[in-house]
Amino acid sequence: MFLVLAACGFASSFSLRLIDPLILPVASHFAVANASAAMLSPAYALPYALSQPFLGPISDRFGRIRCIRVCMAGLAAALLFGAVAPSFEALFASRMIAGVFGGGLVPLVLAALGDAFDMAGRQVAIGRMLFALISGQMLGSIVAGFASEAAGWRSAFWIACVLALVAAGLAWTRLAPGDAGSSSGAPASFRTLYGRVFANPKAKWLYAAVLVEAMLFFGFFPYAGEALLAMEPGATRDVARHVGFVLGAFGIGGLVYAFTVRRLIRLMGVRRMCITASLLGAAASAAVAASGQWWQAALAMLVSGLAFYMLHNSLQTEATELAPAARGSAVALFACALFLGQGAGPMLFGPLAHLVGHGAAHLLVAGALALLGQVVVRRIVSRPSVVG
């Protein structure tokens, strides 16, 4: 079951970061402004976020595997639609549909792990699952960049579609509905399930923290191509490939965390790891601001990826313990906040970068990340959980 769930998570994550290296080629193909094409990123993230308040309780009531099966098939269909989209508007719609169905995958995989492991082993288990999720995100960026350069931007969508079809086939043939199911034990209304979540006083702080975290770490992603062109104006031909490397480096940083999660927790503990992560993230953002070449930005993004997953995995683990009797709902709200942040981040970072410059925008993000670590430690990881 773990391997099939990992395949579903991989396919979903691959489709998530697929679009970022394709912003400039898509803008050129459909003759739209770069800023308009950049909205393809929040076009996926915002529907993903808004679907969560419904998908989480549905999985608590009717079972996670049933939701995963339907959502995996829907994601494959949406990626096929994107691969053949005849217009920018059709491509935009395909990303919105993919976001809705993608919302039923990673959060429910994490909820299933929460059902299977106690709190002592859960952060390590989720950290290991991150290997599949991060690999998908990293390869989504890198493969899309290379595929676009070699065969056009549509080829990246065809690759993602094939991966999603394989994962959907595995979910429908290798997973039984009873393999992972409702954590609440008995059907309950949406209101009851969310009441259990917010009975925990740290819930509001946790969801606010992950919203801000996503805005700060991911706001830059759709504008990476624009930033690299400003660093190296003569590298227009190679920009898609370089963007793939820069954003893929973020995923490599996440893989470093996935391989070292047990050791990091043992050496630092969760509180010190969160503080270290926020400071590393701040330093990485400042380093991006100082970068003059794409490979320097890639090194900075590698550190940023390590910092993000150190902090994010700690928040993920806390989310699985907010309300064990409504775990699917709690994790779904966590994903909702995460993707609202990923959707809102570019909408704020872009105008800010155009107003004050990319360098100054990154420095402001660095200051905010340093403050975020203090909030996480004081209001979330240092407070005892309320089990319900």
pLDDT at 108: 80
Whole-angstrom Cα distance, residue 103 to residue 342? 13
91-95, 175-179, 360-364: the lowest-pLDDT one: 175-179
pLDDT at 317: 85
Would the pLDDT of 387 be above 60? Answer: no
pLDDT at 234: 65
pLDDT at 385: 55
For residues 148-158, give the mean pLDDT: 92
Q: Could you tell me which residue, 266 or 279, shows the higher pLDDT?
A: 279
Answer whether 63's CB lies under 8 Å from 179's CB: no
N-term to C-term CA, the chain: 27
Q: Which of 23-27, 137-141, 338-342 has the highest mean pLDDT?
A: 23-27
For residues 210-236, give the mean pLDDT: 86
Q: Give 177's contacts (C-beta < 8 A, 6+ positions apart).
A: 63, 65, 66
Would the pLDDT of 185 be above 60? Answer: no
Percent of the chain with pLDDT over 70: 93
pLDDT at 298: 94
Residue type, 276: T
Q: Which listed CATH number (3.40.50.300, 1.20.1250.20, 3.40.50.360, 1.20.1560.10) goes with 2-381? A: 1.20.1250.20
Q: Could you tell me which residue, 135 or 118, shows the higher pLDDT?
A: 135
Q: Could you tell me which residue, 311 or 185, shows the higher pLDDT?
A: 311
Would the pLDDT of 384 be above 60? Answer: no
pLDDT at 368: 97
59-63, 95-99, 232-236, 243-247: the lowest-pLDDT one: 232-236
pLDDT at 214: 94
Whole-angstrom Cα distance, residue 281 to residue 311? 9
Average predicted confidence (pLDDT) for the chain: 86
107-111, 257-261, 265-269: the lowest-pLDDT one: 107-111
Would the pLDDT of 158 be above 60? Answer: yes
For residues 368-378, give the mean pLDDT: 94
pLDDT at 312: 92
Q: Give 373's contacts (C-beta < 8 A, 6+ positions apart).
A: 274, 275, 277, 278, 279, 311
pLDDT at 248: 83
pLDDT at 189: 75
pLDDT at 183: 45
pLDDT at 187: 56
Whole-angstrom Cα distance, residue 351 to residue 365? 14
